[in-house]
């Protein structure tokens, strides 16, 4: 049994130039960086109107990031990993340890 959940991979030409997959992955990384930046702006916004503007932009970027991720998944260029019970328990313990350190 495979430990991945994925769609059939959409084939792309091997080339030195960027292709659709390269562009989408690059845009996804940029969107994730923008989300981090807007989160910082939200935390630092002292004006309610400014906060609302940042919040709207954060939501828009978050939605766009999700659309790009879904497109990569549809084309088989991203996949989900099935986690077995041991892996899940390991992560729970790791997070409990982090929480206890706070």
**Tens digits of pLDDT across the chain (102 residues):** 568 898 999 999 888 899 999 999 999 999 999 999 999 999 999 999 999 999 999 999 999 999 999 999 999 999 888 888 988 999 999 999 999 988
User: Can you tell me the distance from the alpha carbon of 76 to that of 23, in angstroms, rounded to the nearest whole number?
Assistant: 15
Whether residue 65 lies inside any domain: the answer is yes
pLDDT at 52: 96
Number of domains in the chain: 1
- 60-82 burial: b if 16+ Cβ within 10 Å, else e: ebbeebeebeeebeebebbeeee
Q: Please state, in angstroms and rounded to a whole number, the distance separating the CA atoms of residues 11 and 17.
A: 15
pLDDT value at residue 81? 86
pLDDT computed for residue 61 by the predictor? 96
> Is residue 35 situated within a structural domain?
yes
Q: Give the domain extent around 59.
A: 18-100
What is the model's pLDDT at position 82?
86
Inside any domain, residue 11:
no
pTM of the model: 0.76
């Amino acid at each position: 049994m495979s430990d991945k959940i994925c769609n059939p991979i959409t084939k792309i030409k091997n080339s030195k130039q960027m292709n659709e997959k390269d562009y989408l992955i690059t845009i996804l990384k940029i969107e994730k960086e923008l989300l981090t930046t807007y989160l910082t702006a939200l935390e630092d916004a002292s004006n309610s109107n400014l906060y609302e503007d940042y919040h709207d932009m954060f939501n828009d970027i978050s939605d766009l990031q999700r659309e790009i991720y879904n497109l990569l998944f549809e084309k088989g260029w991203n996949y989900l990993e099935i986690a077995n019970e041991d892996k899940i328990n390991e992560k729970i313990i790791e997070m409990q340890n982090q929480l206890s350190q706070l």
